Structure 1
Amino acid sequence: MSTVISIAALLIGSALLLLAGGLHGLLLPVRGLAEGFSDTSLGLLGAGWAMGYMAGCLLVPVIVKRVGHVRTFGALCSLAGITLLLNLLLMNPLAWVILRSLSGFCFAGAAMIVESWLNERATNETRGRIFGIYTMINLGATTAGQMLLTLGDPNGFTFFVIGSIIYSLALLPTALSTATSPTPLTQARLDPKKLWRNSPIAVVAVFLVGISNGAFGTLGAVYGRRIGLEVSDIAIMMSLALLAGALIQIPVGFISDRTDRRLVLVGLALTAMALGTSISIFGGTNPVLTIAMIGGFGGTIYSMYPVIVAHASDHADPGDFLKTSGGLLLIFGTGTMIGPLAAAGLMTATSPSALFQVTAAAHLTMMLFAIWRITQRAALTKEEKTDFVPVVSTTRINTLEAAVLDPRTDQEEAIEMQEAS
């Protein structure tokens, strides 16, 4: 508890940031539809977010080294609030895509700062509990942000202003805190070729998960509106998918630590494909049934990423954990750029159900490739595996940012992993 109290300002700032982010991410597609934006334009919002997020992963460390963690975090929160207000002033699809990329940049940088800060404050004995608390706080904040949309009319200016105010509030706890700033961030040296040699299934699967999660996260609200759901139902639907993804990781992690993770991934992909196909056929016939099916769908797709990270880490060298997670994050981001565009194009050309046809195709490909890889390499024993680490991945790219930028070097993390085991 003393450790948690010492980082309370950081946790509060992160919660406020995710509260505004949950509102921001759901408000844009709902308001965009009301303004007559095309599905393709709304799909580009997801691609813009992904590009900005990856740019933030690469550029924010440079800013932190120049001005420090607290100033950078404050600047990013402020910029996120400005972009939301500009979304209100510039009701134009192209402007929104550019602004969405700025939002992605801000969230990448802010998340890296917070999680690397937490990593430095934590010890081997407390790291799991601290990140568990951090994850649950962010999950609750994101869900609350989405549910805020049920309290009023998204067609006015109110929610844009509220979101911007919350972004501004997010910078205050760390700005006023007397806690010591952490050491400068260390950027991992990525090696995609080595990542492929160590775990081809991780590379292919994380790319396909990026396509699926990016498409659903960006266009799930659009699908709900197209089939006639009310804004309040859409908020419940997207929040339920996120909550299910967090809860299902508990049994998924337990099983994957005790069996071949590739079999777990096959099972998740098969379930997601079946649910996606069912939604594409029966979605819209009954609101309760649709929301329930999408909740189960979210539970499966949002629990895939940590299984992939754990499998890749199983086959990584002890000093390559940062490189592995960082490489997976960038591949995931690439898929997240492609998924919304492909789904939006098909939704425009055919019907809203095309969203889940795209996700089903991605999951079918993942399942077949995983089955083939199972025939090519024997499974590891339980003793050879790394620990499963739950990750709450929201409808945008929120994964293991701390694994890309960490105050420790690869060698220091390897020593910590060996001591912990």
Structure 2
Amino acid sequence: MIKNLLPISALLLGSALLLFAGGTNSLILPVRGTAEGFSAFSLGLLGTGWAIGYVAGCILTPVLVGRVGHIRAFTIMAALAAVAILLSLILLMPPAWIPLRALSGFCFAGAAMIVESWLSERTDAKSRGRVFGAYTMVNLVASTAGQMALTLAPTDGYFFFVTGAVFYCLALVPVAITSSTSPKPLVKVRLDVRALWRNSPVAVVAILLIGVSNSAFGTLAAVYADRIGLTLNAVAFFASVPILAGAVAQIPVGYLSDRMDRRRVLVGITFLALVADLAFILLAPEGRMANLILASVFGAAIFAMYPVVLAHANDHAAEGSGIQTSGGLLLIFGIGSIAGPLIAGLGMSSVGASGLFMTTVGAHTLMLAYAVWRISVSAPPTDEEKGSFVMAPPGKALTPETAAFSSGGSADVPTEAEAPAVSPSADGGPAAGDEPQETGSDDPGPTPEPDAGGGKDKP
């Protein structure tokens, strides 16, 4: 394992420094914003801005890299991220913070895509799974450490803004001095909702609602914890522990989803998340330990949902279209992430701290109801048609390159005109009584009929 990691140690270090800065940046803004008297709605808009920038980064970074190369593009991203956090210190006002947070999201997506592309290129097929696991763990530890660093000094000065900028700049060094050659072009993705819907309606609806709930919590968890009177140390734990719990939960959830209908697994963890939602609203715990326990349960559920849905969609994807499916779902997740903090911010401004979990209750209720209905009207794929569950980084660390890296796909994927269409599946077309399916104008030909098991196309 060590011999597999040594050649990419510089890239892993650069990614760790970037994630440490990102963790500090993501938590200091809501903590400091709350202290400055910003409304929950304004702080929710920070998450909306981040999501807009992140989606834009996923779409536009391949173009930038194609023009200036990987190292220069990474330099641009890290430098602008440092500028954004420093300007957030100078301009302590929501109208400035929202576009600056969007700039951070753009830079973060771009930098992550570049690093993942490099890692994918430098990793052979046999060691790819272990390297991806190491990469995910490094990022998780670094991001959590960046958040927990806020417990080491007062947050009312400039220290953490400057610290974040320093680590963004330090992330430049390992990447700039690496001797590895630049990898192939980055993954290009587009959003084809009709093709994704034909592939799996459950995946489209669920991924949108997961974006709503996860982004709402990720943006406003610290604000909620502060509103109910937790200390700064407890606020940092409240924001970090759910992500750690989500990472651990993916192991048993993945085991189950490979052995039964993934939609049933999704129903189970969504129900668990709904129980935690209602506990936060109805019990309104005030103590540190009770809140951390509930946050752990909540995080274990919500951060295990994305890889289950992604695996379910890829079970039904036509051969060779897995990266396009994953990239398209990521963009839908981004759309949900734009709406989630906005809705939750409005809720918290209107009804108080519980507005956060009222938002997640709505998202999880809709997801649960739709998944149950789809299970009742369509059959699951057979065991032969199912792929393998792949762990995904919890939190804000997913890009189109993540799909290529984790699955072993090449970054040199088909262009939009060449991208293969997804095939219908057991969960893939509308149920009886729904409107007939349409074939997009860019499809290569008539869509084959599904087999009796409702899975992938017949050979």
TM band (smaller chain): over 0.9
Matched residue, 1:40: 41
Give distance in 2, aligned partners of 1:280 and 1:201. Answer: 27
Q: Is the Cα contact below 8 Å between 2:11 and 2:174 reproduced in 1? A: yes
C-alpha separation in 2, matches of 1:342 and 1:65: 37
Classify 1:353/1:333 alpha carbon distance in 2 versus 1 (closer, same or farther; 3 Å). same
Distance verdict in 2 for CA 1:360–1:92, change over 3 Å = same
CA distance in 2, matches of 1:314, 1:180: 34
TM-superposition CA deviations, 1:101-133 (whole Å, max 9, x none): 000000110111111211122222111011000
The alpha-carbon deviation at position 2 of structure 1 amounts to 2.9
The residue aligned with 1:376 is 377
Q: 1:24 to 1:86 in 2, by over 3 A?
A: same
Contact 2:74 2:110 in 1 (8 A): yes
1:296-375 equivalences under 5 Å are 296-375=297-376
| Structure 1 partner of 2:248 | 247
| Matched residue, 2:432 | none
One-letter code aligned to 1:357: M
* CA shift in 2, pair 1:397/1:210, >3 Å: farther
Asked if 2 retains the 8 angstrom alpha-carbon contact of 1:322 and 1:410, the reply is: no
- Report the Cα offset of residue 408 of structure 1: 2.8
Q: Which residue in 1 is equivalent to 2:439?
A: none
What displacement does 1:264 show? 0.3
Query: Which of the numbers 404, 407, 413 marks the counterpart of 1:409?
Result: 413
Secondary structure, counterpart of 1:182 in structure 2: coil
3-state SS, counterpart of residue 105 of structure 2:
helix
Shift of 1:38: 0.6
Aligned to 1:418: none
How many pairs are equivalent? 413
Equivalent residue for 2:398?
A: 398
The equivalences for 1:68-83 within 5 A come to 68-83=69-84
Distance 2:254 2:81 in 1: 34
SS class of match (1:375): helix
Asked whether the equivalents of residues 14 and 114 of structure 1 are also in contact (C-alpha less than 8 Å), the reply is yes
Q: Distance in 1 between matches of 2:216 and 2:413?
A: 35
How far residue 285 of structure 1 moved from its aligned partner, in angstroms, is 2.7
1:391 corresponds to which letter in structure 2? Answer: A
Give the C-alpha shift of residue 312 in structure 1.
0.3
Give per-residue Cα distances to partners, 1:283-325, cap 9 Å, x unaligned.
3432210111011101110000000000000000012112101
Please tell me whether the aligned partners of residues 347 and 358 of structure 2 are also in contact (alpha carbons under 8 angstroms): no
Q: Equivalent residue for 2:155?
A: 154
Structure 2 counterpart of 1:351, which letter?
G
Kindly indicate whether the alpha-carbon contact (under 8 Å) linking 1:320 and 1:410 is maintained by their aligned counterparts in 2: no
Aligned twin of 1:417? none
1: CA distance between counterparts of 2:404 and 2:284? 38
Amino acid at match of 2:216: A
Q: Establish whether residue 26 from structure 1 lines up as the match of residue 30 from structure 2.
A: no
Q: What do residues 235-294 of structure 1 show as CA deviations (whole Å, max 9, x unaligned)?
A: 111111010000000000000000000000000110000111101122343221011101
Higher alpha-carbon deviation: 183-192 or 323-332: 183-192
Equivalent in the alignment of 1:419 = none
Paired position in structure 2 for 1:118: 119
Residue pair 1:281, 1:353 contacting (<8 A) in 2 also: no
Identical pairs, percent: 52
Shift in Å, 1:372: 0.6
1:104 and 1:401 mapped to 2: Cα distance? Answer: 16
SS at match of 2:181: coil
TM-score normalised by the chain length of structure 2: 0.87
Letter in 1 for 2:402: A
Paired letter, 2:213: S
Which contiguous aligned blocks of 4+ residues in structure 1 show a shift greater than 4 angstroms? 410-414
Match of 1:108? 109
For 1:189 and 1:165, the matched residues in 2 are separated by 34
Paired position in structure 1 for 2:100: 99
Contact kept? 2:247, 2:300, Cα under 8 Å? yes
Q: 1: CA distance between counterparts of 2:278 and 2:401?
A: 32
Q: Do the aligned residues in 1 keep the contact of 2:46 with 2:219 (CA within 8 Å)?
A: yes
Q: Show structure 1 runs of 5+ residues with no match.
A: 415-421
Maintained 8 Å contact 1:65/1:184: yes
TM-score normalised according to structure 1 size: 0.95
Q: CA deviation at 1:397?
A: 5.5
Give the number of the structure whose alpha-carbon radius of gyration is greater: 2
Task: Give the equivalent residue in structure 2 for 1:142.
Answer: 143
Residues 401-410 or 195-204, more deviating: 401-410
Q: Structure 1's 96 and 57: CA in aligned 2 closer, same or farther, altered over 3 A?
A: same
Change (3 A) 1:196 1:408: same
**Does the CA contact (< 8 Å) of 2:15 and 2:115 recur in 1?**
yes
* Matched position secondary structure for 2:320: helix
Does the 8 Å contact 1:23/1:163 carry over to 2? yes
- Aligned counterparts, 1:214-293, within 5 A: 214-293=215-294
Partner of 2:63: 62
Q: Tell me how far apart the structure 2 counterparts of residues 142 and 312 of structure 1 sit (CA, whole Å).
A: 28
Q: Is the 8 A contact 1:46 1:218 kept in 2?
A: yes
Letter in 2 for 1:120: E
> What is the Cα deviation at residue 91 of structure 1?
0.4
Secondary structure of 1:197's match? helix
The amino acid of 1:46's aligned partner reads G
Describe the SS at the equivalent of 2:118: helix
Matched residue type, 2:388: D
Higher helix share: 1
Query: CA separation in 1, counterparts of 2:143 and 2:374?
Result: 36
Q: For residues 163-201 of structure 1, give each alpha carbon's deviation from its aligned partner in whole angstroms, at most 9, with x where no partner exists.
A: 110110001001011122212224135422111001000
C-alpha separation in 1, matches of 2:93 and 2:272: 38
In structure 2, relative to structure 1, the CA distance for the partners of 1:341 and 1:413 (3 Å cut) is: closer
Counterparts of 2:170 and 2:397 in 1: how far apart (Å)? Answer: 23
Check conservation: 1:50, 1:397, Cα contact below 8 A. no
* Worse-superposed segment, 67-76 or 183-192: 183-192
SS at structure 1 position matched to 2:377? coil
Which deviates more, 128-137 or 375-384? 375-384
> Contact 1:393/1:399 (CA < 8 Å) preserved in 2?
no
* Alpha carbons of structure 1 residues 86 and 61: separation in structure 2 relative to 1, 3 Å: same
Q: 1:260 to 1:410 in 2, by over 3 A?
A: farther
Amino acid at match of 1:308: V
Matched residues in 2 for 1:49 and 1:397: separation?
12
